[in-house]
Chain A
Amino acid sequence: MANKILKKSDSFYAVYDRKPGEDKMNTHYCPGCGHGNIHKYVAEAIDELGIQDRTIIVSPVGCSVFIYYYFDLGNIQVAHGRAPAVATALKRAHPHAIVISYQGDGDLAAIGGNNIIQAANRGEQITVVFVNNAIYGMTGGQVAPTTLVGMKSSTTPRGRAIENEGYPMKVSELIAALTAPVYVERTALWDTSSRNKAKRSIKKALKAQMEGKGFTFCEIMSPCPSGWKLTPAQSLEWMKENMGAYYKVGVLRDEIKTREPIIKEKKTVTSKEIQEVLGTDIKPSEHYPTNPEDRYKNPSMKFAGFGGQGVLSLGTMLANAAMEQGFNSSWIPSYGPEMRGGTAYCFVNISDKEIGSPTVSNPDLLVAFNRPSLEKFEGDVKPGGIIMYDSTIIDVQPTRDDVEILAVPATGIAESLGNIRCANTVMAGVYLAKTKIMAKEALIQTLPKAIKKKHLIDLNIHALEKGFEFIENN
């Protein structure tokens, strides 16, 4: 008997518990806003197709950002304009899921213009619900790519002018110019018959997605009474007369019947395959237990210098070796504007506990390879921590007196070995010898991961040993 009663769809929450504030029963939309209608049509189509338990709706930035307050579906709220990219990922990872990219015209046609074109061109098996209200609603009525010529907005107070803002963008026509999309239709919400078409269009697109037919695109012209500064009733008339004259309703592509379905299976990737791709599939031959003093355990580190001094690979060496020895480790780089010459630094954490954040504001260890890095970061080191600096290159001394300071002529030592580029490995040796957090051998067995050129491996083993000797002799 359910069809004898028209009421809120099951795909909506009965009570909008996720919505902050007192009012858990109403949407946040302005009176007469078309988002609400379109939500209802999407929800009803999902109910009727029986896909609530496998539908994921990706919400945009715009007035519909809070879709997850209302829909009892899977949801990811994404960065402005990026819904098609996230929808792509969701669909590829979960081919059985029904994925909806719900977007406004600012989101889809302005900042996300390339995202939607590429997703459409790839023929991603997603359904895009494109709410065209010819304006940026959420931010207070600025011009959108879809704003009509002459239409006033807060950023086109004299009306959109072709010579300034160009012609209103016919997005469905753009999408339909591509070969891949299987279904493209523009509908509207200005009267009963147009609303019925909008409703049917959404259901048709979702059904085509269920059948594995390909990329489906539903543009719906929708009122924004607040942005248009009209009453809800006036909005419908204005929309029909003006938007309807420029944006033609109708089907721009429908090859649903003739396209062969492509039913994709969920791809699983083994961790071995991932390791092969990342080049981390070298198994350690041995585990080397060590017993550092407590103050050296679980260090957070920062390595800094000029790009090209091997700062980043020093970090990777230690993080890799630590991982192989059964620690948790993280490595995250940060580059200056240029890869070579600019300052480069990276953060490394090594821990026998889980690592919460890979970034390090106050390191236990700072390794500085140039003067600017030393001067910039020495103040950040935790009291009781260690500062190691390349005394061949840096002609000043750290000023801190509450940390251990090691002046290591790393570049000088490396030069004596015939290649200054192994100064980073000298530092690694010094650090390991000093703290004993890992054995020399632990690093040696993972060197091939950090150093791709085989003939340099011996040199680096040598450099590592020189680092150990430095501590032994000092």
Chain B
Amino acid sequence: MSSNYQSKKLDKKQKRCVAIIQNECKIEPVADGISKYVAILNAGLSTGLTEELVLETVEKFGKITRLLMLPNKSYCFMECSSTEDAQNIVQNMNGISKIGQKEAVVYLSYFDSLPQAEDSNWLKPLPKGLVILNDFVTEEEEKLLLDVIKMDNVEVDAALKHRRVKHFGYEFIYGKNNVDPHKPLTNKIPQKCDALWPRLESISKSCNYDFDWYVPDQLTVNSYEPGQGIPPHVDTHSAFLDPILSLSLESDVVLEFRKGLEKRSVLLPRRSLLVMSGEARYDWTHGITPRVLDVVMTANGNLSTRRRSKRTSLTFRRLRRAPCNCNFPLLCDTKLEALKRTESTIESEKAALLEEKNVHNVYDHIAEHFSETRHSPWPQVADFLKSFPQSSILLDVGCGNGKYLNCNPNLLNIGCDRSSGLLKVCSSLNYQTFRCDCIHVPVRSNSVDGCISIAVIHHLATKERRLMAIKELARILRPSGQGLIYVWAKDQNANNKKSSYLRQNKSVNKQKATEEQQRQQTQQQLEEKAKEAPVSLPVHTNRTEFLQQDVLVPWKVKNASAQQSEAEKSTFLRYYHVFEENELESLIGEVNDIKLVKSYYDQGNHCVIFEKLSKSL
């Protein structure tokens, strides 16, 4: 009975594995039959299976023509030479063999075909400007280099996830990701390295490699234990010249390159020299995933795993001592700094023009689609509206499609907006509105009990104009009347809670939105479009954190007609001034006849409730 129970349990487990494969790979098991396609159900790349082990075990029982191992999967597939081979393999291994797995035995099942393999990023061309020179140093040289570097007496660095690091020539300061060229270290690059440079020069000449190079003056040595890695990064543009050289000692490792959505895995063999120049150096990030096993492509073109051992990398660089002049702006710290300096320098003469072109015109174009996407009122705004007694006069300045004009039907709700497109939407819903801008509200002073300004003031391009808008709200309020303002926050992550704006970005959920991942395929096109704006401003990448306060935010119109499918035609750039913490409160402080009642952070916005003082009557 117990053995029957055992076999039933196994049967159940096997069925569950088959169902997973059916679902994930869209292939069908061959019920009661035999085929030459066999799946190993519970061992694969994710459980550390190697091509070598599979071949060694399987070929005792039959011949296979193809082994297919999929990344991150705990199963793999074989195409056998014949159904006889397949049958023999299954009979001898199913529920018996362990193929080097520590715990359970493996299960095998027949399938009708092999799954469609995804386009492996191993098969795509390497990033431009990336060269790997195999066997760049001999084993003897490897030993000599390790001796002079003396990593053993370097303390582990907790801040660097316990990776050991040592600098020669100049210290690389991790906090600011730069070097101080005025503080050379007494520890220069060891002379043992000198032999490498004539070698590199002669190879680059004989192979016609397309990189200029300089004898390095800075060396960072990293010592990685198996399981350690380094997050995706780009070597700071302004800190170092092109190219970056990296010598791998003691172990192979897989380096992951990323550029926007593009990904490449590159195997760095032990004793090879990696040369990153041009695009590979400036426009791709590189990093090492912290893990013990790497997935690599074998000479047969199959994926397999490789166990890491301790690895030491020598990264040789040459200080730039000047701003970067590269042609790859997206990851360029020099370019980014320049963008930050353009902040708060929007001239007042251009502010109105910028708002006209990159706010009002855009809203008129997108009114319909915008309105479709804005139907549910934010709860805390609705709560504010419900706090007023019956017959209170409520003015919504910048009412958009009027979604707040029926939150509390006990009020006399009036809305106004600059966009006639949005006002038409209000009109169709029988809401009371008029057209005006928010710095000249045509309403008599001291006349309304409440006013709200939701997502409006961040469209004004100078501090002066933002202040004028708040003064208008203060002017129209009657004494003891209250106003509520929402503006977009630069920090979309306050209280460690991602705003829904960020949450909607699934990829950001998966991996932290670092500056380096803030790229999209359309970015370049949008940068072009941004040149049409009256003021030169950076284009924000949607659903990522803001890098600057004054930005152009793309609005993509969905269901655009076929001719409009290019990003250029269907994407509009809206101007935003996103608010720093306390910036809104300090504006309120500059207005005489109101006092701050409450300020809070809600849905990625900075929000204030303020009250008109009684004495101002």
> Do A and B come together as binding partners?
no
A residues at B contact (CB < 8 Å): none
